Amino acid sequence: MLLISCPYCGARDEVEFFCAGESHVVRPPSPESASDAEWAQYLFFHGNPRGVVCERWRHVLGCNQWFNVARNTVTHEILAVYAMGERRPEV
Amino acid sequence: MTQRHRLPQGGAIERDRVLRFTFDGRAFEGFEGDTLASALLANGAGIVGRSFRLHRPRGLLASGLEEPNCIVTVGEGAAAQTNLKATEVQLSDGLVARSVNAWPSARFDVGSVVSALRPLLVTGFYYKTFMWPRWALYEPLIRRLAGLGRASMLQDPDRYDVLNASCDVLIVGGGPAGLSAALTAAASAASVVLVDADRSFGGTLLAAGEAARIEGVPARTWLARTLATLQQSANVRLLARTLATGYYDHNLVTLVEQLGSTADIALGRNAPRQRLWRLRCSKVILATGAIERPLVFQNNDRPGIMLASAVAMYVNRYAVLTGTDVVIATDNDSAYEVAETVAAKGAPRVTLVDTRLGGRAELSDRMMRAGVRLLPGHRVVAAHGRRRVRAVTVAPCDATGEIDAARAAKLRADLVGVSGGWSPAVHLFSQSGGRLTYDTKLPAFVPSTARQAVTVVGAARGDFDFANDNKRTMWHVRSGKAAQQWVDFQNDVTVDDIWTAATEGYASPEHLKRYTTLSMAVDQGKTANVNALGILADCTGRSLSDIAVTTFRPPYSPIPFGVLAGRRRNDLFVPLRRLAAHERHEALGARFANYGGWLRPECYARGGESFERAVQREALAARTAAVLFDASPLGKIEVKGRDAAKFLSRIYISNIATLQPGAVRYGLMLSEGGTIIDDGVVACLAKDHYQVGTTSAGAQRIAAWLEEWRQCEWPGLDVVTVPVTTQFGTVTLAGPLARTLLSQLVTDPDLSPVAFPHLAVRMGSVAGVAARILRVSYTGELSYEINVPARQVASLWERLLSLGETVGVTPMGIEALMLLRAEKGYIHVGADTDATTIPDDIGFGQIARNRREDFIGRRSLSSAEATRADRWQLVGLDSLASERVIPVGAQCLPRSGAQPPVRPCGRVTSSYFSPTLQRPIALALLERGRQRIGEQIEVYDLGERYAARVAPPTFYDPEGTRLNA
């Protein structure tokens, strides 16, 4: 049961949030010229690392804002919380 | 009823408060302060349970949550709780308890004949025996015999609470280590919570005799003083009767606190029975103590054989001594105190059998002074007696543990206390992610690296206050029949079963556990785990340092589902949302049902008419006169900003930029995979202001969808979205007479067809209430969707309904609406579409292809899958037997007469008897459907066959004349 620090509301229990998977998935800038392989890569092939992962979370029972969380998938330690749109930090 | 094993004095029981209870139908008496277990022992109840597999007679082994034998059902009827251990049941007046797994009683159990079938019930028997002619013949009987307690099938009448809280320091365990930690923490400014599952704090101190001392002070005095200090500390919260059940991430610990007693509930006091604490802690201190291990020898499961520490607990805390010829068998020093206590309390003959030889001068002297006969260098090899232990055979054993059978002797014994060492209770520490290491000196698994902010103190860490220097530990006696040496008492797992599993290749602890079911009963193997691992290590030639224990999972001890649910049950489980005009619908006789989380009228049956008649009547009224429909749950999202049109054009397959203020357009939204996720109309209120409509079930999902794209992918767009679904109530007035009726209440806007055409939005007022009116239609008739502030929708409904009295406005429920839209071939997302349906399947392919700019899902529409020639397409089906309505879900056969199993080429998605057309109609998704219009096909459902003709999906008014009236 993670304790997540929403950048706007502060530390809240995991039940207030929704996780939508991997951060920094880049949508092909011109989809019509993306090959089938590139489009499939974007749609289906996401990371599943043993270690640090950056994920998109939304504070659904609070401010409704999206932000990013760097989390260790083995220990669940949260290493960083940063705004949507910011670059992946060094952790 | 005399309590023949109750000592005349002593114990922390209130002898002036007599409690009456029954066990297996027999009446007994006990005292306030007793547990069910201590009271049963006091009354001389020897056989208090029957083992799971073989129905062997069993007595109490322990005094705490580690008890494996005496499993009971307490209470009757709906309030019955089952699979409780008698040691955790606080005795109350009028308590009714029954043993599980025995009939008619534990004392005389018909099921004991099963013992004779032992050879057929070896470990893993369901893979080996009962195979001919096939397992399925035996399975129902075996499943009926399996299991322990029977749960009541009635709803749990008890109330439960959930509480979220936080603290600086949580201390789990109120024994000497936990209390000391609490004193230290209390002296700081930290907020402290101390919990113990028992009704009293003290832990092992509660079993201590008068001679026990802490810091030079009698143990009882130290305990009383410590508790007083803690009770007076404002920053300390003491929670007795509170079990710490689970340790989760980021130092969240769950506690289950016992509240109202059964007595309270019997008296009708509506107190919650248990409370779940979800406690977030800055720091956790685990002082959970250690659990004693039984010795493993032949017939070590007989009634009258107990853990040595349990003997002391029953004697000192409950004043219960169940034997006169007492044998204490041990491999460590902790049992010496027990022998001393038992002798001091009056047992005439006490023998202490210690596996270790000599060298304990001080302890030997104490035993001599106490009158305890000491047998060093000896082991108990076997127990004798069936319904109760009568004697034990002891034999000398040497330093390597080998038995000298020639010099074995039989000792009379009616109470045997065994101590095979102590295992630190590392469950919560392991759940927190902490690692364990095997300490060969204790021997036991102890905590090593912690992963969260937790420390372990006291016996839980392996800090024992007695010496335990075994040169070599024997995990079981190597003589006698291994098949009669019990390891897991509750699930009847013996040494022989462990050997069998290892021989058959199930040699890892995780495999051993699942193959033998060891530790999988309600005691979760607390007295079995380490012994089993020791035996496994021995027979596979490994050391315990190389074996990993099985994963510890919450709860530490069983808890009811109710306490996890708290108040979220029945109506509160997923609270249904009510329409603002709910009472009006109720007054009209509406029949309600759950549609997408809203309680909505499915029909308004009149004068005893059936549901089917009501739906047909309402549908016909929409086509011939006028109907009123509460459409308030329809999703509504306002989208505003300079880039609103640009944003929406990426969300929909249509180009929203071409939508003019005052116009409304139907739109489809796709996933990035190109599949339809929702549909609805979008209204342009101004160049920078739109109202997006969604399905009722999709309102919250689509509002979240829009925000996800806006915040994560296109944060640079100048646009905001606001869900307003529940801010507005919506009443739909539809039918050929809709305009005539509405104009009685509306002067602004102009309702004439030229000023207010189909697919338009106008602002105005209805009966003086400011309204946003959309001329859109799901019924296919002239239709106005009137949006007003939610608090005014009930009175608007009233006004419109009363209007129609003269002309005949019929309230219409959802079922009739669904029928009408099917006649028009309008899809219902999720019914006529599934997770694979793309725009072209339902006839919207051209709109998607005409778009030149990108939108969500566009790229996927050019994939090979999306451009397959044989995709399933939306069509209509005319049933060729004029009265037969084809069931929804019926499968289209590839050729008439085909016998299943056969691959279907379509399925029926919507189906009704049309009152308008007086014949059955259906919508279906059919392979190459649009090319097959006019063909006859056969449809199959649960053995019935239906002949149908493929038709265009629009059965009624295909030109849309009624729509554009």
Predicted local confidence at residue B964, as pLDDT? 92
> Residues B28-39: what's their mean pLDDT?
97
**Taking every pair of C-alpha atoms in chain B, what is the biggest distance, in angstroms?**
115
What is the C-alpha end-to-end distance of chain B, expressed in Å?
Answer: 91
Mean pLDDT by 10 residues, chain A (91 residues): 96 96 94 96 94 97 97 95 94 82
Chain B: which residues have CB within 8 Å of chain A? 164, 248-250, 252, 278, 280, 433, 451, 672-673, 704, 707-708, 711-713, 715, 854, 858-860, 863-864
Query: B784, B793, B733: which is closest to B578 by C-alpha?
Result: B793
B472 DSSP assignment: S
Tell me whether A15 touches chain B (CB under 8 Å). Answer: no
Contact A75 B433 (CB under 8 A): yes
Contact B672 A56 (CB under 8 A): no
Distance in Å, alpha carbon of B429 to nearest chain A alpha carbon: 14
Contact B708 A60 (CB under 8 A): no
Cis peptide bond prior to B272, omega within 30° of 0: no
pLDDT band at B533 (very low <50, low <70, confident <90, very high): very high
H/E/C letters for each residue in A76-87?
Answer: CCEEEEEECCCC
Task: Kindly list the residues from chain B whose CB atom is less than 8 angstroms away from the CB atom of residue A30.
Answer: 854
Beta-strand pair B192-195/B160-172: parallel
Give the whole-number percent of chain B exceeding pLDDT 70. Answer: 98
Can you read off the two tokens belonging to residue B574? 């997923």
Task: Please say whether the beta carbons of B652 and B735 come within 8 A.
Answer: no
- For residue B773, pLDDT over 90 is answered with yes
Distance in Å, alpha carbon of A49 to nearest chain B alpha carbon: 19
Can you read off the two tokens belonging to residue B916? 């308008």
Nearest to A76 among B249, B673, B704 (CB): B249
Predicted local confidence at residue B432, as pLDDT? 96
- For residue B268, pLDDT over 70 is answered with no
Predicted local confidence at residue B53, as pLDDT? 85
> Residues B85-98: what's their mean pLDDT?
95
Task: Kindly list the residues from chain B whose CB atom is less than 8 angstroms away from the CB atom of residue A21.
Answer: none
Q: How many beta carbons lie within 10 A of that of residue B237, not counting itself?
A: 15
- For residue B265, pLDDT over 60 is answered with no
Predicted local confidence at residue B83, as pLDDT? 94
Q: Over the stretch B146-161, which tens digit does the pLDDT of each residue have?
A: 788 888 899 988 889 9
Partners of residue A81 on adjacent β-strands: A69
Task: Please say whether the beta carbons of B10 and B69 come within 8 A.
Answer: no
Average pLDDT, chain B: 93
Predicted local confidence at residue B2, as pLDDT? 81
Q: Which residues does B273 contact at the CB level (< 8 Å), separation at least 6?
A: B158, B159, B160, B258, B259, B260, B265
Give the whole-number percent of chain B exceeding pLDDT 90. Answer: 83
- For residue B185, pLDDT over 70 is answered with yes
Alpha-carbon span B817 to B627, nearest angstrom: 10
> Residues B231-238: what's their mean pLDDT?
97
Amino acid, res. B619 = A
**DSSP secondary structure letters along B886-907:** PPTTPEEPSSTTPPSS---SEE
Alpha-carbon span B821 to B780, nearest angstrom: 7
